[in-house]
Structure 1
Amino acid sequence: MKNIFLYIEYGGQNKYISELKYSLATLFDHHALTPDEIWVYTEDISRYANLPVTPKSIAAELEAYSLGGVYAHRIKPCAVNKALAELPPDTNLVFVDTDTYFKSSVTRRLSTISQRHVLMNKFEKINPYENDVLEHLQLPSGKKYRYDTQKSVMFNSGFLGLNREHIPCMKDAIAIIDGMIQAKFKAHTIEQCAVSEAFRIHGIAISEVDAELEHYWPSTDKKYMHHHLSKISDANIDSRGLWTERLQHSWWRARLHKYFVKG
């Protein structure tokens, strides 16, 4: 089974483009890949013309994917669903958040993806929205969904490994997001809960991919990484256009930076 890695970047903010460039460099540290095995969905493909990736425009879809800006995180499952439909036969899709870098190979883990098994970054919690109610939601698959305080689950979606057989799950995940928005769920994390829930109700097992990568989503780590990524020079690149500098990041370094470094 082949693998295609997917990044999504929109908005053109330098800090997120830098996240992607650093993640890409670490991806190549541990995997031998060609440009056609790495897709970047973006509204401006020129941003990635000098990198070993295949940029694809989603400029025309962003408005609909985000419900006119109501919920930007909805873009991710919509883009993943689009990519699944575009996959060649016998190929896994590996979505990677830009704020993620690789510490070792995930190739062995990707070989476990199947119709009944997918990969996500990390388990977070059961019943993440204990005060919210959603019932009798009709899904595209024909299933009916209710948020279950005993069973509803949330994995972090910073890494996602799946294939074309999971298109019905992604369509249902998008519908669950829309249902949660309609039901006034306020949390910005409903996207990753909805994806996790779609897999759960379809009876698909989820395994964590955590040790092999670092998803630095906490704000303290984000600020640390953004500070140091902003100092990497584009002069320090290899023949493929990839950054050669690697950062020293840890939980402690990020927290020391918070208290002792300005900027």
Structure 2
Amino acid sequence: MNYIAYLAYGKREFALEAVYSILSLYYSAGFEDHKDISIIIYTDQSDFFTRVFGKNDRIIYQELTETLRESWMKGGYVYRAKIKLLQDCMGKYPGNLLLVDTDTIFIKDNLEELFCGISQNQFHMYAQENTLEQRMRIHQEVVIDPKEQNSELSLLNFIKDNSFMTTSAKEIKVPLTMEMWNSGVVGLNKSHLSSLDEVLEMIDTIYEKFHYRILEQFALSFVYGKQYKICNTDCTIHHYWYSKITRYIILIFFKRVHEKGLFKNSPLCTDFNIVELFEFEQKYFSQDIENYKMEELYQIEFMELEYEQLIPYGATILKYFWDIEFLKELIPKNSFFGEILTKYAASGL
């Protein structure tokens, strides 16, 4: 059996992101035709999801209580919960698992090929984000958020000349040649399960000294990069971590899809509550729209966008939120999103 899992807890916007990701799974990835795939949502807001989608026997809800969540975030590191979810989910639902961050959209019907690779013991992550050595150079040369810069630079400067010693007396020496992979998507099966304990031990060891925000992907990249040639998923799934207002664009698109009745025959979207979602997002992003004078966000309501235009359009609003030159440095040019960034930077947008 194949599973696509989400972790959506806390703020309502994370649940909304998961909704849009699931809609894209139906609209562009042909989910209804893949009867061997189920969705698992670890959440404290199952009532919200059922209110939006109605009941569906291919969506499984796992209650994420505050007590369980706190135990998964041992030491206070939030993203440690993703690793614990992988362990919990694989224990309850053995098969091939794709853990997908909520701020993602499916852009291609490639699920059969993707799960086939996982079933053949290929380990998947979203996309490669340069070596540690390259990331160190970028932080040294490009002015970015000081807190984030200090966090990563401090860790990289340490591992350049030092090792970590775990609680089990295991020495961890991380080479600067290690490739960092984005963990917006993680695909694995039971053959990969035992190494998750090593990932957790590495997280707990390093987090005591360095409160590094993306430590979970650092540890996943190190542990699985030693054993496998990690496979990317960025041509199938897009992780829009770079600009959350992209989800407002996605919502407008799905609003048009719903109005045209394109979800009418979908058992998932029979009772799709588009009004509630749209009102929430307009309120949530109203200040951003005003501050950044993003006229495009208003104009898009009158445009007949095709689905594949969403990502390029989203790339054009980067100029309002983040220096596109920095993103070009951080993300390899040969990656799916790297090619989009290069194209739109060259166009002068």
Query: What range describes the TM-score normalised by the shorter chain of this pair?
Result: 0.7 to 0.9
1:64 matched residue in structure 2: 71
Call closer, same or farther: CA 1:19–1:180 in 2, change over 3 Å.
Answer: same
Q: Within 5 A, what are the aligned runs for 1:171-250? A: 171-182=197-208, 184-201=209-226, 203-218=227-242, 221-226=243-248, 229=251, 238=264, 239-242=266-269, 248-250=310-312
Match of 1:76 in 2: 82
1:1-263 equivalences in 2 (<5 Å): 2-11=1-10, 13-29=11-27, 30=29, 31-32=31-32, 33=34, 37-50=38-51, 51=53, 52=56, 53-59=59-65, 60-67=67-74, 70-88=76-94, 91-106=95-110, 107-114=112-119, 116-127=121-132, 129-133=155-159, 134-137=163-166, 144-182=170-208, 184-201=209-226, 203-218=227-242, 221-226=243-248, 229=251, 238=264, 239-242=266-269, 248-250=310-312, 251-255=314-318
Query: Greater Rg, structure 1 or structure 2?
Result: 2
Q: In the aligned structure 2, how far is the partner of 1:158 from the partner of 1:172?
A: 20
> Secondary structure of the equivalent of 1:148?
coil
Range moving further from structure 2, 98-107 or 151-160: 151-160
Structure 1 pair 256–132 and aligned structure 2 pair: CA distance change class (3 A)? closer
In 1, Cα distance between the equivalents of 2:171 and 2:129? 21
Contact 1:137 1:145 in 2 (8 A): yes
Q: Which runs of 5+ in 2 are unaligned?
A: 136-154, 275-304, 323-349
Q: Return the offset for 1:35.
A: 10
1:137 maps to a residue whose letter is T
Q: State percent identity of aligned pairs.
A: 23
Cα distance change, pair 113–18 in 1 and its aligned pair in 2 (3 A)? same
SS in 2 for 1:149: coil
Q: Are 2:123 and 2:187, in contact at CA under 8 Å, matched by a contact in 1?
A: yes
Closer, same or farther: CA 56–230 of 1 in aligned 2, 3 Å:
farther
Q: Distance in 2 between matches of 1:48 and 1:34?
A: 21
Moved more, 79-88 or 40-49: 40-49
Distance in 2 (alpha carbons) for counterparts of 1:226 and 1:241: 21
Cα 1:5/1:85, change in 2 over 3 Å? same
Length-normalised TM-score, structure 1: 0.81
Contact 1:120/1:160 (CA < 8 Å) preserved in 2? yes
**Residue range with higher mean Cα deviation, 172-181 or 108-117:** 108-117
State the alpha-carbon separation in 2 of the partners of residues 123 and 174 from structure 1: 21
Q: Alpha-carbon deviation of 1:43?
A: 2.1
Tell me the SS of whatever aligns to 1:61: helix
What amino acid is aligned across from residue 186 of structure 1 in structure 2? Answer: H
Name the structure with the higher strand share: 1
- Provide Cα deviations, 1:152-191, integer angstroms capped at 9, x if missing partner: 3321111111011211111211111111112x22320111
Q: Quick check: 2:40–2:62 contact (8 Å CA) kept in 1? A: yes
* Distance (whole Å) between structure 2 residues aligned to residue 138 and residue 166 of structure 1: 22
Matched residues in 2 for 1:108 and 1:232: separation? 26
* Secondary structure class of the residue paired with 2:3: strand
User: Any idea what SS the aligned residue of 2:210 has?
Assistant: coil
Distance 1:145 1:154, change over 3 A: farther
Paired with 1:204 and 1:172, the residues of 2 have a C-alpha distance of 15
SS in 1 for 2:156: coil
User: Residues 225 and 249 of structure 1 are in contact (CA less than 8 Å); yes or no, is this contact kept in structure 2?
Assistant: no
- Cα distance in 2 for partners of 1:38, 1:116 equals 21
Say which structure is richer in helix.
2
